[in-house]
Amino acid sequence: MNITDLLTALRTHADKPVRFLLPDGGLIPAHFHITEVGHVTKRFIDCGGTRRTLETCLLQTWVHDDVDHRLVSGKLAAIFDKAGDVLPNHELPVEIEYEDGVVAQFPVESSEIIDDQLVFRCGWKHTDCLARGICLPGECAPAPQPVSCCTPGSKCC
Q: Are residues 116 and 154 in the same domain?
A: no
Contact 117, 110 (CB under 8 A): no
Q: Are residues 36 and 7 in the same domain?
A: yes
Q: Are residues 135 and 103 in the same domain?
A: no
Q: Are residues 56 and 118 in the same domain?
A: yes
Q: Are residues 69 and 138 in the same domain?
A: no
Q: Are residues 115 and 148 in the same domain?
A: no
* Confidence (pLDDT) at 143: 46
Report the number of distinct structural domains present in the chain.
2
Helices 73-83 + 3-12 axis angle, to 10: 140
Q: Are residues 17 and 38 in the same domain?
A: yes
Helix, strand, coil percent values for the chain (each to nearest 5): 20, 35, 45
Cα separation of 57 and 19, whole Å? 18
Q: Are residues 142 and 113 in the same domain?
A: no
Residue numbers of the domain that contains 144: 131-157
* Confidence (pLDDT) at 140: 56
Low-confidence ranges of the chain (pLDDT < 70): 138-157
Q: Are residues 98 and 152 in the same domain?
A: no
Q: Are residues 33 and 76 in the same domain?
A: yes
* Confidence (pLDDT) at 145: 47
Q: Are residues 105 and 145 in the same domain?
A: no
Q: Are residues 100 and 143 in the same domain?
A: no
